[in-house]
Amino acid sequence: MPQNKFVPGNWKLLVKRSSTGLGLFAGEAIPKGACVIEYVGRTISNEEALTSKSKYLFEISKKKTIDGKPKNNKAGYINHACTPNCETEIHKGRVFVLTLRAIKEGEQLTYDYGKEYVDEFIKPFGCKCDSCLKKA
């Protein structure tokens, strides 16, 4: 029986040190296509988001953005990667992280933050995701 795609499973997730600060790691194997976690936070207007200093903004529509500070939002620990193992999907104004492939226990979870974020916050310092470190 297919379960609702947008219900996070009760996966074991660990916040640990990664090459780019803290990251979120799989504490157990997670199959492909599984819903890992919801990106939760305060919903703010996009005007508010423009002046916000938060680095955890997730635009969900033309009008609204979620500000998901990691303190209350474990998904905020997920780092950017250029070849990620997860993707985000917006469903009814909520953001969910789903796996793009099977994930092994101990693997770091990543998704692509998108061009705008990468150009503004990552490129100036050089991307430190695994595939970029390999290329370097």
Q: Would you say 1 or 136 has its CB closer to Zn ion?
A: 136
Residues 26 and 105 sit within 8 Å (Cβ to Cβ): yes
24 contacts Zn ion (rule: CB under 5 A): no
Q: Which of 22, 49, 82, 90 is close enough to bind Zn ion by CB under 5 A?
A: 82
CA 99 – CA 27 distance, rounded (Å): 14
The b/e string for 73-87 (b: 16+ C-beta within 10 A; e otherwise) is bbbbbbbbbeebbbe
| Shortest spacing between CB 87 and Zn ion, in angstroms | 15
For position 127 contacting Zn ion by CB under 5 A, the verdict is yes
Q: Which lies closer to Zn ion via its Cβ, residue 53 or residue 115?
A: 115
Position 44 contacts Zn ion (CB under 5 A): no
Per DSSP bridges, beta strands 79-80 and 110-111 are: parallel
Return residues touching Zn ion (CB under 5 A): 82, 127, 129, 132
